[in-house]
């Protein structure tokens, strides 16, 4: 239930709609009960034609006699209006019933009207909050999670809450009040019969709770399996070229179908358990009505005036008993939904409630510029158990170009991840102008950095909007200038819509070299003092590499650059080349100096045959 209360906290901004919903439901429940009470004068006309109507207003004799007082008061006013004419009395009673039902339905509509804004507002804010938290969480969180599972939580689980958890909002006030008002009327009509009925309520509640106990567990299995096949779908769409190239369609088909088969079986068990709710509550309700008919019938037939129940009151009582059953069944369904939605709420709360360890310190510094040097001071870092950087120290003066080379797994890309604070160091510190980057706000730190990665990550939008990620308020002239520096204007100007051309999903309408040059333009327009190039040319062919290399050289002019290189031909002109092996620096110097040492770098160069 804690998850339910956490979700309901999102209703606070919509309290005016909640108040309107509650007030409307109060009147809906009240007029719902009165619509059955209004039947009594009509039944009195039909069954008691010889009954003498009161000619004076009845006197109040206390709560114990409230039933007789209400009946006599209604009879008095009806007699005043009709003058004792039974046909007029019947018309009066029918008109009263119509008015009661009209008012009930007006307030029912208003309750639903307010609920629409309340429920949809909660869902919107919840979905926005889950997305915002997803974006804010560090990369380390997602390295342990499937993308499909995250997508399922943001989409399917939130939607599940809308039709399970939040559907209960309308039951919180309406159904309980309907039951309360109706039971009060039933007690007024016959205390003995109502107390007899109460014997069955705990029995019904016990049976319903037993059926609903396993719903949360079954629902959790369904949602986890849904996350699994969504992950398979996402991986398939991302790697479709490889799947086809390796004739692996059947393998992925099998994997997907195994997951959907499990989802099929889990869903069947869940829905069949849910479907048991309606017939069970229906049967229990009929049992209660049967008990009322038996016991109430005896009271009607009883000759003892202290125990007897007149026929019109008994028929109204039956209607009220039915009026209790409908909200009772709705509440039982609502309890099922809470059980079912509990799993979705728990999965959503898992994301919302997780603590983000990579966040700004209190009173963190907003750094506006880069003046002196970037330095690594005895940095050690591990993703899991093994350290990938060990006591790493390095100073990078402003304006210098530093290249990091080494075999895969030597820790080169980890350095880029640590500078940008995608991860925090385990030991040591990274300093900008002598300030630990953990003492700087993440936003201002990343404003000092430009990143070009091996995989050119672009979005399904126009070239212009992709470039504007670097600088939101850039003019078209600035965008074109950035494209020229990135050696990309030569192909962009020939596109049908120029910078307004949509480049498709992940930029798939462009070649690899074109995508990389756009990502360079995005970094150029940001104009950061420190540029990080993480193997920016390693995935390109020779011609594309040449064009991109020219763009990179244009971009690195007068900037501090950290170049993580796989192709050593691209870093010959670096001010310092750092050679890494197993997370440690083994050599450093200029290109020719390292060649003369005949060490690790010389062997790497020899392997790539670039001397």
First to last CA, the chain: 70
> What's the whole-number mean pLDDT along residues 4-10?
75
Do 518 and 502 touch, CB atoms closer than 8 A?
no
477: which 2 tokens?
A: 């002239």
41 pLDDT higher than 70: no
Pairing of strands 530-534, 560-564: parallel
209: which 2 tokens?
A: 């709770």
Residue 188's SS3 state is: helix
For the segment(s) 373-608, the CATH number from 3.10.129.10, 1.10.10.10, 3.40.50.300, 3.40.50.10300 is 3.40.50.300
pLDDT on residue 427: 92
Contacts of 591 (CB under 8 A, 6+ apart): 571, 572, 573, 574, 577
140: which 2 tokens?
A: 């380390």
Mean pLDDT taken over the chain: 78
pLDDT on residue 208: 60
Do 408 and 386 touch, CB atoms closer than 8 A?
no
> Which helix (H) or strand (E) covers residue 121, if one does?
helix 86-136
| Phi, psi dihedrals of residue 212, rounded to the nearest 5° | -85, -5
pLDDT single digits (tens) 393-423: 999 998 888 888 888 778 888 888 899 888 8
At 314, the pLDDT band (50, 70, 90 cuts) reads confident
Identify the residue with better confidence: 279 or 511. Answer: 511
Do 68 and 40 touch, CB atoms closer than 8 A?
no
At 611, the pLDDT band (50, 70, 90 cuts) reads very low
Cα–Cα distances in angstroms (integers) from residue 85 to residues 82, 311, 359, in the given order: 5, 21, 81
For the segment(s) 2-217+271-353, the CATH number from 2.60.200.30, 3.40.50.9100, 1.20.1560.10, 3.30.70.141 is 1.20.1560.10
pLDDT on residue 429: 93
Residues 300 and 319: their CA atoms lie apart, in Å, by 16
Contacts of 541 (CB under 8 A, 6+ apart): 512, 513
Identify the residue with better confidence: 162 or 380. Answer: 380
Residue 535's SS3 state is: coil
pLDDT on residue 106: 94
| Phi, psi dihedrals of residue 248, rounded to the nearest 5° | -100, 15
Least confident stretch, 100-104, 333-337, 520-524, 537-541:
537-541
349 pLDDT higher than 70: yes
Residues shown for the chain? 611
Nearest to 175 by CA among 123, 116, 114, 111: 111
pLDDT on residue 431: 92
- Scan for tokens 């809470």, then name that residue: 338
538 pLDDT higher than 70: no
116 pLDDT higher than 90: no
- Scan for tokens 């559907």, then name that residue: 167
- Scan for tokens 């011609």, then name that residue: 543
Residues 581 and 363: their CA atoms lie apart, in Å, by 38
Cα–Cα distances in angstroms (integers) from residue 117 to residues 16, 78, 106, 112, 132, in the given order: 10, 42, 18, 9, 22
610 pLDDT higher than 50: no
Nearest to 402 by CA among 239, 277, 585, 145: 585
Contacts of 75 (CB under 8 A, 6+ apart): 41, 44, 53, 54
| Phi, psi dihedrals of residue 572, rounded to the nearest 5° | -60, -35
pLDDT single digits (tens) 217-260: 666 677 677 777 777 777 777 666 667 666 777 878 888 888 88
Least confident stretch, 140-144, 151-155, 172-176, 536-540:
536-540
| Phi, psi dihedrals of residue 165, rounded to the nearest 5° | -60, -55
pLDDT on residue 110: 93
pLDDT single digits (tens) 300-310: 777 555 555 67
187: which 2 tokens?
A: 């007690």
> What's the whole-number mean pLDDT along residues 492-504?
88
Angle between helices 277-301 and 249-275 (to 10 degrees): 10
Identify the residue with better confidence: 44 or 20. Answer: 20
pLDDT single digits (tens) 548-602: 677 777 777 778 888 887 777 667 778 898 888 888 888 888 888 888 888 888 8
Nearest to 562 by CA among 359, 418, 423: 418
Residues 466 and 453: their CA atoms lie apart, in Å, by 15
Residues 133 and 138: their CA atoms lie apart, in Å, by 10
468 pLDDT higher than 70: yes
DSSP for 366-399, please give it: ------SEEEEEEEEEESSSSEEEEEEEEEEETT
pLDDT on residue 1: 55
Contacts of 523 (CB under 8 A, 6+ apart): 450, 451, 452, 470, 531, 555
74 pLDDT higher than 60: yes
At 378, the pLDDT band (50, 70, 90 cuts) reads very high
Torsion over CA: 175, 176, 177, 180 (sign) = positive
pLDDT single digits (tens) 158-204: 777 777 666 676 677 788 888 888 888 887 777 777 777 777 666 66
> What are the structural domain ranges in the chain?
2-217+271-353, 373-608
What percentage of the chain exceeds 70 in pLDDT?
77
At 11, the pLDDT band (50, 70, 90 cuts) reads confident
Do 452 and 536 touch, CB atoms closer than 8 A?
yes
Do 11 and 122 touch, CB atoms closer than 8 A?
yes
53 pLDDT higher than 60: no
pLDDT on residue 73: 66
């Amino acid at each position: 239930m804690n998850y339910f209360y956490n979700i309901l906290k999102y209703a606070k901004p919509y309290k005016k709609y909640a108040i309107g919903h509650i007030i409307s439901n109060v009147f809906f429940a009240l007029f719902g009960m009165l619509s059955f009470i209004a039947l009594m004068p009509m039944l009195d006309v039909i069954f008691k034609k010889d009954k003498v109507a009161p000619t004076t207003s009845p006197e109040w004799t206390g709560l114990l006699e409230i039933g007789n007082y209400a009946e006599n008061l209604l009879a008095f006013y009806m007699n005043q209006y009709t003058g004792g004419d039974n046909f007029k009395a019947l018309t009066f009673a029918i008109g009263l019933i119509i008015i009661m039902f009209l008012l009930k339905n007006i307030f029912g509509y208003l309750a639903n009207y307010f609920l629409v804004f309340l429920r949809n507002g909660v869902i919107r804010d919840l979905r926005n909050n889950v997305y915002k938290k997803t974006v804010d969480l560090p990369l380390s969180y997602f390295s342990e999670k499937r993308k499909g599972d995250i997508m399922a939580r943001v989409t399917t689980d939130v939607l599940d809450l809308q039709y399970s958890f939040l559907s209960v909002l309308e039951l919180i006030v309406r159904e309980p009040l309907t039951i309360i008002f109706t039971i009060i009327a039933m007690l007024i009509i016959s205390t003995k019969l109502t107390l007899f009925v109460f014997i069955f309520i705990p029995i019904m509640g016990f049976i319903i709770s037993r059926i609903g106990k396993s719903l949360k567990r079954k629902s959790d299995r369904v949602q986890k399996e849904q996350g699994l096949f969504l992950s398979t779908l996402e991986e398939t769409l991302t790697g479709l070229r490889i799947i086809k190239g390796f004739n692996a369609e059947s393998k992925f088909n099998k994997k997907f179908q195994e997951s959907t088969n499990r989802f099929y079986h889990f869903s069947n068990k869940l829905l069949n358990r849910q479907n048991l709710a309606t017939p069970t509550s229906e049967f229990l309700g009929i049992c209660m009505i049967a008990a009322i008919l038996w016991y109430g019938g005896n009271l009607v037939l009883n000759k003892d005036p202290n125990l007897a129940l007149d026929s019109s009151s008994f028929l109204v009582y039956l209607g009220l008993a039915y009026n209790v059953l409908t909200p009772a069944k709705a509440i039982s369904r609502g309890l099922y939904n809470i059980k079912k939605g509990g799993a979705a709420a728990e999965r959503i709360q898992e994301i919302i409630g997780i603590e983000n360890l990579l966040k700004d310190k209190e009173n963190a510094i907003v750094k506006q510029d880069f003046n002196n040097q970037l330095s690594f001071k005895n940095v050690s870092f591990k993703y899991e158990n093994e350290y990938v950087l060990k006591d790493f120290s390095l100073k990078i003066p402003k304006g210098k170009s530093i290249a990091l080379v080494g075999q895969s797994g030597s820790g080169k890309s980890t350095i880029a991840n640590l500078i940008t604070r995608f991860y925090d160091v385990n030991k040591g510190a990274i300093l900008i102008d002598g300030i630990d980057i953990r003492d700087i706000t993440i936003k201002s730190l990343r404003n000092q950095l430009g990143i070009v990665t091996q995989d050119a990550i672009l979005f399904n939008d126009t070239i212009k909007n992709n470039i504007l990620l670097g600088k939101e308020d850039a003019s078209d002239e600035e965008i074109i200038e950035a494209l020229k520096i990135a050696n990309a204007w030569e192909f962009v100007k020939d596109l049908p819509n120029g910078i307004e051309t949509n480049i498709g999903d992940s930029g798939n309408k462009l070649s690899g070299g074109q995508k990389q040059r756009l990502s360079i333009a995005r970094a150029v327009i940001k104009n950061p003092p420190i540029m990080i190039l993480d193997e920016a040319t390693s995935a390109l062919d020779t011609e594309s590499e040449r064009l991109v290399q020219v763009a990179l050289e244009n971009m690195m002019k007068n900037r501090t650059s950290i170049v993580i290189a796989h192709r050593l031909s691209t870093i010959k002109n670096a001010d310092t080349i750092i050679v890494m092996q197993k997370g440690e620096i083994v050599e450093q110097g200029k290109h020719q100096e390292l060649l003369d040492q005949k060490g690790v770098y010389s062997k790497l160069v020899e392997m790539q045959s670039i001397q």
